[in-house]
A and B are shown apart, each in its own frame.
Chain A
Amino acid sequence: DSGVTQTPKHLITATGQRVTLRCSPRSGDLSVYWYQQSLDQGLQFLIQYYNGEERAKGNILERFSAQQFPDLHSELNLSSLELGDSALYFCASSVTGGRFNEQFFGPGTRLTVL
Protein backbone atom coordinates (compact mmCIF):
# COMPACT_ATOMS: atom_id res chain seq x y z
CA ASP A 1 0.00 0.00 0.00
CA SER A 2 1.59 3.26 -1.20
CA GLY A 3 -0.47 5.54 1.04
CA VAL A 4 -2.03 7.29 -1.97
CA THR A 5 -5.76 6.79 -2.23
CA GLN A 6 -7.95 7.25 -5.27
CA THR A 7 -11.70 7.19 -5.60
CA PRO A 8 -13.67 5.78 -7.21
CA LYS A 9 -11.97 2.53 -8.25
CA HIS A 10 -14.20 2.12 -11.27
CA LEU A 11 -16.36 4.57 -13.17
CA ILE A 12 -18.67 3.81 -16.08
CA THR A 13 -20.30 6.68 -17.88
CA ALA A 14 -21.57 7.78 -21.27
CA THR A 15 -20.10 9.96 -23.98
CA GLY A 16 -20.60 13.66 -23.41
CA GLN A 17 -20.73 13.33 -19.65
CA ARG A 18 -18.46 14.86 -17.01
CA VAL A 19 -16.73 13.02 -14.18
CA THR A 20 -14.46 13.88 -11.26
CA LEU A 21 -11.66 11.68 -10.02
CA ARG A 22 -10.30 12.22 -6.55
CA CYS A 23 -6.84 11.66 -5.10
CA SER A 24 -5.48 11.93 -1.58
CA PRO A 25 -1.68 12.04 -1.42
CA ARG A 26 0.49 10.37 1.18
CA SER A 27 0.65 12.20 4.47
CA GLY A 28 3.32 14.91 4.20
CA ASP A 29 3.58 14.87 0.40
CA LEU A 30 3.07 18.29 -1.17
CA SER A 31 3.09 17.36 -4.83
CA VAL A 32 0.43 15.48 -6.78
CA TYR A 33 0.66 14.14 -10.32
CA TRP A 34 -1.97 12.77 -12.68
CA TYR A 35 -1.30 10.14 -15.35
CA GLN A 36 -3.39 8.42 -17.99
CA GLN A 37 -2.67 4.81 -18.99
CA SER A 38 -4.31 3.45 -22.12
CA LEU A 39 -3.50 0.55 -24.41
CA ASP A 40 -2.71 2.71 -27.42
CA GLN A 41 -0.93 5.64 -25.72
CA GLY A 42 0.78 3.89 -22.81
CA LEU A 43 1.43 5.89 -19.64
CA GLN A 44 1.21 9.63 -20.17
CA PHE A 45 1.87 12.43 -17.73
CA LEU A 46 -1.05 14.84 -17.54
CA ILE A 47 -0.35 17.47 -14.90
CA GLN A 48 1.48 18.17 -11.65
CA TYR A 49 0.54 20.33 -8.68
CA TYR A 50 2.77 21.44 -5.87
CA ASN A 51 1.23 22.84 -2.69
CA GLY A 52 -1.87 24.01 -4.50
CA GLU A 53 -0.15 25.52 -7.54
CA GLU A 54 0.17 24.02 -11.01
CA ARG A 55 3.84 23.15 -11.61
CA ALA A 56 4.03 21.22 -14.86
CA LYS A 57 1.70 20.29 -17.67
CA GLY A 58 1.93 17.32 -19.98
CA ASN A 59 -0.42 15.94 -22.59
CA ILE A 60 -3.58 17.12 -20.90
CA LEU A 61 -6.55 17.87 -23.14
CA GLU A 62 -8.42 21.16 -22.82
CA ARG A 63 -11.53 19.17 -21.82
CA PHE A 64 -9.61 18.03 -18.74
CA SER A 65 -8.78 20.15 -15.72
CA ALA A 66 -7.38 19.56 -12.28
CA GLN A 67 -6.81 21.35 -9.04
CA GLN A 68 -5.17 20.78 -5.68
CA PHE A 69 -7.02 21.96 -2.61
CA PRO A 70 -5.64 23.50 0.62
CA ASP A 71 -5.78 20.09 2.33
CA LEU A 72 -3.59 18.86 -0.59
CA HIS A 73 -6.07 16.43 -2.06
CA SER A 74 -6.53 16.76 -5.79
CA GLU A 75 -9.33 16.31 -8.28
CA LEU A 76 -9.15 15.62 -11.99
CA ASN A 77 -12.21 16.75 -13.94
CA LEU A 78 -12.92 15.17 -17.30
CA SER A 79 -15.69 16.71 -19.40
CA SER A 80 -17.37 16.10 -22.76
CA LEU A 81 -16.15 12.55 -22.48
CA GLU A 82 -15.32 10.57 -25.59
CA LEU A 83 -14.86 6.84 -26.10
CA GLY A 84 -11.11 7.40 -26.37
CA ASP A 85 -10.98 8.77 -22.84
CA SER A 86 -11.52 5.25 -21.50
CA ALA A 87 -8.35 4.50 -19.57
CA LEU A 88 -6.78 3.92 -16.20
CA TYR A 89 -6.06 7.22 -14.44
CA PHE A 90 -3.33 7.22 -11.84
CA CYS A 91 -2.53 9.77 -9.22
CA ALA A 92 0.92 9.89 -7.65
CA SER A 93 2.42 12.00 -4.90
CA SER A 94 5.91 12.98 -3.82
CA VAL A 95 7.42 14.95 -1.00
CA THR A 96 8.52 18.10 -2.80
CA GLY A 97 7.97 17.47 -6.48
CA GLY A 98 11.61 17.68 -7.43
CA ARG A 99 12.90 15.53 -10.25
CA PHE A 100 14.83 13.26 -7.88
CA ASN A 101 11.82 12.53 -5.75
CA GLU A 102 10.27 9.10 -5.84
CA GLN A 103 6.63 9.23 -6.84
CA PHE A 104 4.20 6.99 -4.97
CA PHE A 105 1.32 5.80 -7.11
CA GLY A 106 -2.25 5.17 -6.13
CA PRO A 107 -4.17 2.09 -7.32
CA GLY A 108 -5.85 4.02 -10.13
CA THR A 109 -9.38 4.77 -11.30
CA ARG A 110 -10.58 2.78 -14.28
CA LEU A 111 -12.81 4.94 -16.46
CA THR A 112 -15.03 3.33 -19.06
CA VAL A 113 -16.88 5.60 -21.46
CA LEU A 114 -19.73 3.88 -23.33
Chain B
Amino acid sequence: AQSVTQLDSHVSVSEGTPVLLRCNYSSSYSPSLFWYVQHPNKGLQLLLKYTSAATLVKGINGFEAEFKKSETSFHLTKPSAHMSDAAEYFCVVSDRDYKLSFGAGTTVTVRA
Protein backbone atom coordinates (compact mmCIF):
# COMPACT_ATOMS: atom_id res chain seq x y z
CA ALA B 1 0.00 0.00 0.00
CA GLN B 2 1.13 3.51 -0.66
CA SER B 3 0.45 6.77 1.14
CA VAL B 4 1.59 10.36 1.24
CA THR B 5 1.91 12.77 4.15
CA GLN B 6 2.26 16.47 3.54
CA LEU B 7 3.69 17.82 6.73
CA ASP B 8 2.30 21.36 6.47
CA SER B 9 -1.31 22.19 5.70
CA HIS B 10 -0.47 25.85 5.20
CA VAL B 11 2.73 27.72 4.36
CA SER B 12 3.02 31.50 4.28
CA VAL B 13 6.04 33.21 2.72
CA SER B 14 7.05 36.69 1.66
CA GLU B 15 7.53 37.40 -2.02
CA GLY B 16 11.14 36.81 -3.01
CA THR B 17 11.90 34.38 -0.16
CA PRO B 18 12.38 30.60 -0.47
CA VAL B 19 9.50 28.15 -0.38
CA LEU B 20 9.74 24.67 1.15
CA LEU B 21 6.85 22.21 1.01
CA ARG B 22 7.49 18.95 2.81
CA CYS B 23 6.28 15.53 1.72
CA ASN B 24 6.92 12.05 3.08
CA TYR B 25 5.72 8.91 1.38
CA SER B 26 5.42 5.24 2.03
CA SER B 27 5.43 2.65 -0.69
CA SER B 28 6.08 -1.07 -0.85
CA TYR B 29 7.48 -0.67 -4.34
CA SER B 30 9.78 1.75 -6.16
CA PRO B 31 7.42 4.69 -6.36
CA SER B 32 6.86 7.36 -8.93
CA LEU B 33 6.40 10.71 -7.21
CA PHE B 34 4.76 13.87 -8.47
CA TRP B 35 3.98 17.39 -7.34
CA TYR B 36 0.82 18.98 -8.72
CA VAL B 37 -0.41 22.55 -8.24
CA GLN B 38 -4.02 23.68 -8.14
CA HIS B 39 -4.84 27.35 -8.53
CA PRO B 40 -8.24 28.54 -7.29
CA ASN B 41 -11.12 27.20 -9.38
CA LYS B 42 -8.73 25.41 -11.72
CA GLY B 43 -7.75 21.83 -12.43
CA LEU B 44 -4.44 20.35 -11.33
CA GLN B 45 -1.23 20.99 -13.23
CA LEU B 46 1.91 18.88 -13.04
CA LEU B 47 4.93 20.73 -11.60
CA LEU B 48 7.42 17.87 -11.76
CA LYS B 49 7.84 14.12 -11.48
CA TYR B 50 10.37 11.60 -10.20
CA THR B 51 10.55 8.26 -11.99
CA SER B 52 13.79 6.68 -10.66
CA ALA B 53 16.24 8.64 -12.78
CA ALA B 54 17.98 11.69 -11.26
CA THR B 55 17.13 12.27 -7.60
CA LEU B 56 17.03 16.05 -8.05
CA VAL B 57 14.14 16.88 -10.30
CA LYS B 58 13.58 20.25 -11.92
CA GLY B 59 10.07 21.35 -12.80
CA ILE B 60 8.22 24.26 -14.24
CA ASN B 61 8.18 27.81 -12.83
CA GLY B 62 11.48 27.38 -10.98
CA PHE B 63 10.35 24.55 -8.70
CA GLU B 64 12.50 21.55 -7.92
CA ALA B 65 12.26 18.53 -5.65
CA GLU B 66 14.74 16.05 -4.24
CA PHE B 67 13.98 12.36 -3.81
CA LYS B 68 15.62 10.96 -0.67
CA LYS B 69 15.01 7.26 -0.36
CA SER B 70 16.64 6.95 3.06
CA GLU B 71 14.28 9.59 4.45
CA THR B 72 11.30 8.59 2.25
CA SER B 73 10.90 12.24 1.40
CA PHE B 74 10.20 14.29 -1.71
CA HIS B 75 10.28 17.92 -0.61
CA LEU B 76 9.43 20.71 -3.05
CA THR B 77 11.42 23.93 -3.09
CA LYS B 78 11.64 27.21 -4.94
CA PRO B 79 14.40 29.75 -4.24
CA SER B 80 12.26 32.85 -4.66
CA ALA B 81 8.48 32.95 -4.28
CA HIS B 82 6.29 34.92 -6.64
CA MET B 83 2.76 36.15 -6.02
CA SER B 84 1.54 33.79 -8.73
CA ASP B 85 2.77 30.82 -6.64
CA ALA B 86 -0.16 31.25 -4.27
CA ALA B 87 -2.07 27.99 -4.74
CA GLU B 88 -2.60 24.54 -3.28
CA TYR B 89 0.13 21.96 -3.82
CA PHE B 90 -0.30 18.21 -3.79
CA CYS B 91 2.36 15.57 -3.36
CA VAL B 92 1.36 12.36 -5.15
CA VAL B 93 2.71 8.82 -5.19
CA SER B 94 2.07 6.17 -7.81
CA ASP B 95 2.75 2.55 -7.04
CA ARG B 96 2.78 -0.49 -9.29
CA ASP B 97 -1.02 -0.61 -9.43
CA TYR B 98 -1.29 2.64 -11.47
CA LYS B 99 -3.33 4.41 -8.81
CA LEU B 100 -2.33 7.85 -7.66
CA SER B 101 -2.49 8.59 -3.94
CA PHE B 102 -2.70 12.27 -3.09
CA GLY B 103 -1.50 14.04 0.00
CA ALA B 104 -3.92 16.32 1.85
CA GLY B 105 -2.45 19.37 0.17
CA THR B 106 -0.47 22.42 1.29
CA THR B 107 -1.94 25.86 0.78
CA VAL B 108 0.71 28.45 -0.05
CA THR B 109 0.12 32.11 0.69
CA VAL B 110 2.55 34.71 -0.66
CA ARG B 111 2.77 38.06 1.14
CA ALA B 112 3.74 41.16 -0.79
Residues of A in contact with B (beta carbons under 8 Å apart) = 2, 4, 33, 42-45, 48, 55-56, 58, 90, 92, 97-100, 102-108
Q: B28-59 CB contact bits vs A (8 Å, 1 = yes)? A: 00001010100000111110010100000000
Cα–Cα, bound, A92→B105 (Å): 18
Q: Do A90 and B100 touch across chains, with their CB atoms under 8 A apart?
A: no
Contact of A90 among B44, B49, B96, B97 (CB under 8 A): B44
How far, in Å, is A102 (CB) from chain B's closest CB?
A: 5
Q: Could you say which of A4, A58, A104, A105 has the most chain B C-beta atoms within 10 Å of its C-beta?
A: A105
A43 to B34 alpha-carbon distance, docked (Å): 14
B67 contacts partner chain A, Cβ-Cβ < 8 Å: no
Q: How far is the CA of A45 from the CA of B101 in the complex (A)?
A: 7
Query: Is B99 a contact partner of A102 (Cβ separation < 8 A)?
Result: no
Chain B residues in 8 Å Cβ range of A107: 42-43
Q: Is the pair A48, B99 in contact by a Cβ cutoff of 8 Å?
A: yes
For B44, what are the chain A residues with a Cβ–Cβ distance below 8 Å?
90, 92, 105
Number of residues from B at the complex interface, CB < 8 A: 23
Contact of B98 with A98 in the complex, beta carbons under 8 Å: yes
B63 within 8 A of A: no
Central interface residue in B36, B42, B43, B94, by most chain A CB within 10 Å: B43
| Given A99-B32, A100-B32, A100-B51, A90 contacting B98 (CB threshold 8 A) | no
A100 neighbours in B (Cβ, 8 Å): 32, 49, 51, 94
- The answer on a CB contact under 8 Å between A42 and B102 is yes
Task: Tell whether A45 pairs with B43 under 8 Å between CB atoms, given A99-B94, A99-B95, A100-B51.
Answer: no
On whether A102 and B46 interact (CB within 8 A), knowing A42-B104, A43-B90, the answer reads yes
CB-based nearest B residue for A108: B43
Check if A105 sits within 8 Å of B43, measured CB to CB.
yes
Besides A102-B46, A105-B43, 8 other A-B contacts (C-beta < 8 A): A4-B43, A42-B103, A48-B99, A56-B98, A90-B44, A99-B95, A106-B43, A107-B43
Minimum CB–CB distance from A36 to chain B (whole Å) comes to 11
